[in-house]
Amino acid sequence: MLSVHQTSPLVAIREQLGRPIADGRIGSPCEWVGHVCGSHASVHRPDRSHKALQHVCRDDVRFGTGTGLGIGRTATRWARVWTAGRHSCRRQGHLLHAEWRAHDRELQDPARYVRLDRCLIRPSRRRDDAGFVAPYESTATQRLLDAGAIPLGKLNMDEFAMGSGTTYSTFGPTINPWSSDLGDRALVAGGSSGASAAAVASGCCFAALGSDTGGSVRQPAAYCGVTGLKPNYGRISRHGMIAFASSLDTPGILAKTIRDAAIVLHAIAGPDGHDSTALPDKLPSQWEPASETDATNTKQLTVGVPKEYYVKELPESILKVWDQGIEWLLQSGVRVVEASLPTTKYALPTYYILACAEASSNLSRYDGVRYGFRAELNNEAAAAAVADASNNQANALHDLYCRTRSEGFGDEVQRRILSGTFVLSAGALADYYERAVLVRQTIRDDFASTFESGIDVLLTPTTPSGPFAVHGKANPVDMFMNDIMTIPASLAGLPSVSVPAAVLDQMPLGLQLIGAPHQEHTLLHVAHLLEQRADFSRHIPLRVLTSAR
């Protein structure tokens, strides 16, 4: 008999494995995940060995290329980090005493499940390709599989990662687990990788992947009270990741704790021949928390607080959490000084000029001929093309392009494509795009000067406010402002992480740490110090841990 208890990794029990849960039914779709963060969940399989069970749980597993993947863990790898008292979901153990039984039936492909609101369910057949499964693995997901991770399913996101609340998703917005009991007043989980953060926060998975172009991992992490790590640009291969803005796109990690995020980072980071932008060097070693008695390195660290981030529009609640974060670092023995990033105020317009320009280029492939969705032509256009091949065939092709891109792209994606096409036009290129490129380099130089002055890490709020209502921001420009704190680090390609820090008005708030180039280990060390002082897990209410069930 095999038992998987608190000290061992988690095993996903999928819907098609046979008998349902202890009470004799399969309830919410998240239950087939096996309460994947349950510290007391167990699996009993008299007729299977440990290796056999692992093989069954990985049989015919494929990932889609969309951002957001729920991740479990197998028992043969990573087990060393799962020890009593260290479990990142230890506080919900009393909820999960149910016994699980696995059987011999063939596994359902987990890539055909999509995260909607608070459940993993089958996608609606709104379009013919809603259940699309990629023909090959991305580098990140393949490395997770090689490390023994168990994929649980695809997660909801904004269309082409363009959004800050999953409000631009085909399947509708993801509800923040912290507001699951508010009904019509529910709040967003953030975006674009909002469902990745919601899945981790509600206990559906140990960790999840997302894409961070301008803050799409860190912002939802702050909104949902989890850790959101954006590594250095190029640290994780982008091979298999659908491009939004190629010079900014970075695969990111959402997890309960800094330690959990570091485990996933170590598994998927490294050079890749399929991605020329991937860094050629590997991480030196698996990051481990420093001993509390070893304060030597901590006292040598310097954390900078950029004065330009103190904008008058910041609410008192954000300033209060920021000041508390400074106090926690001082209590940990870290030296805290003022820093200056004078070009930060230009980061937001610079980002949206460059990101939209790159999106205009990257998304040009979706024309109905070479790639992706194709609209149906009306009968008149088709008949005209046949009657006069010289003229009307070209008109019909133009009509196909227009219809395909108008029907296939949502409003926000079309808006950004049009903006990007404009800034790349002959009349606007010098005034907008070329100036934005120069400003981006100045922003990078500001960060470089700051780190060269002896500062190791920068501390800022992750977001300028808490999560907003699902239908609370109709103006796209208001939505852009949610990324004002995270965009500068993205423009500079720097590693950064959002750490859950406090709960105000029953909603979580996060603090962002920005590291020097290629210094993820130092960043994780300071983030771990902040995490220990915040002790955020004691603030998580029961409604969040049970929101997915």
Q: Which residues are part of the catalytic machinery?
A: 192, 216
Contacts of 395 (CB under 8 A, 6+ apart): 381, 384, 385
Is the torsion defined by CA of 272, 237, 528, 548 positive or negative?
A: negative
Helices 347-362 and 411-423: crossing angle in degrees, nearest 10, is: 100
- What is the rounded CA–CA span in Å between residue 5 and residue 9? 8
Which token pair is 89?
A: 């979901």
DSSP element (H, E) containing 331: helix 316-331
Distance CA 514, CA 325 (A): 14
* Terminal Cα distance for the chain, rounded: 28
Question: Does residue 246 contact residue 514 with C-beta atoms inside 8 Å?
Answer: no
486 vs 462: CA distance, rounded Å: 6
* Phi/psi at 481 (5° precision): -65, -20
Where do the H-state alpha helices sit in 305-425?
A: 316-331, 347-362, 379-387, 392-408, 411-423
238: left (phi over 0), alpha (psi -120 to 50) or beta: alpha
Tokens of 518: 């290629």
Q: What is the rounded CA–CA span in Å between residue 399 and residue 105? A: 49
Taking residue 118's Cβ as centre, other Cβ atoms within 10 Å add up to: 24
Residue 409: alpha-carbon gap to chain centroid: 22
